[in-house]
Amino acid sequence: MEILKKKWAKSALCLSLFTLFSVSLVVTVQATIYEKYILNSQRNRLQSQLAVMLPGISFNNNLIKSCGLYSDPAITGNEKYQIYTAKMNDEITGYVIQHKTGAGYGGDIVLLTSITPDGDILKVSVTRHNETPGLGDLILQTAGGWLDQFTGANLSNRKFAVKKEGGDFTYTTGATITPRAVVNAEKDLLEYFLNHKRRFELEGSCNGD
């Protein structure tokens, strides 16, 4: 009888360990599937966001996989930022470039700017800032907003300064610091692009794919 009890106890222990292992395996598999789902969702959302930054530009490549990293103290600080290259049958048709300025009223303003291979701005978007609500945050406006005046601008057809300082870009009374910071950031980016164009032809995924 004692031997039988020991066998039952051993069998119960083995069954418990097997159940625990099975549950752990299922949880691990589910977590892996969920992580892949989240990653794919994030990539699809990023691809859509990047496509919006390229109005009127034809491309048939995967923008996320056509991504390179660059850094320059003038436009990225001490960080590495992304350059997404749009191509149509291997011919470059545009770029979406992440950059920043530390000259905002509330500190860093991180921007996403798309430009043509010739250096014309297609679209400007703000991805992060700490500007004052109701004043400096006018830079967040999208369709029909303050940022639209950058569309089509280049170093030849616009003077990159706010109108108060003799430039071509409007600003809101009482909120000059933020517009000035963004205008100067766009000017710095275009100058950097024209002087270091080869750096913007980097290939390889920023995500290590």
In tens, the pLDDT along 60-94 reads 998 888 888 888 887 777 788 889 999 999 899 99
Looking at every residue in the chain, the average pLDDT score rounds to 77
Instruction: Grade residue 167 by pLDDT with cuts at 50, 70 and 90.
Output: very high
**Selected residue with higher pLDDT from 139 and 40:** 139
CA atoms within 13 A on the CB side of 65: 6
Q: What angle do CA 98, 117, 159 make, to 5 degrees?
A: 75
Residue 56 Cα to chain centre, angstroms: 20
CA 172/CA 178 separation, integer angstroms? 9
Question: Which one has a higher pLDDT value, 17 or 94?
Answer: 94
Q: What is the dihedral of CA 108, 109, 113, 119, to 10 degrees?
A: -60
Residue 186 CB-half CA count within 13 A: 33
Q: Which residue has the tokens 């679209």?
A: 123
Residue 123 class from Cβ within 10 Å (0-12 exposed, 13-18 middle, 19+ buried)?
A: buried
Return the structure tokens found at 53.
């930054």
Banded model confidence at residue 171, pLDDT cuts 50, 70, 90: confident
Of 192, 194, 179, the C-alpha closest to 141 is: 179
Rounded-to-integer distance, Cα 168 and Cα 30, Å: 55
3-state secondary structure the chain: CHHHHHHHHHHHHHHHHHHHHHHHHHHHHHHHHHHHHHHHHHHHHHHHHHHHCCCCCCCCCCCCCCEEEECCHHHHCCCCEEEEEEEECCEEEEEEEEEEEEEECCEEEEEEEEECCCCCEEEEEEEECCCCCCCHHHHHCCCCCHHHHHCCCCCCCCCCCEHHHCCCECCECCECHHHHHHHHHHHHHHHHHHHCHHHHHCCCCCCCC
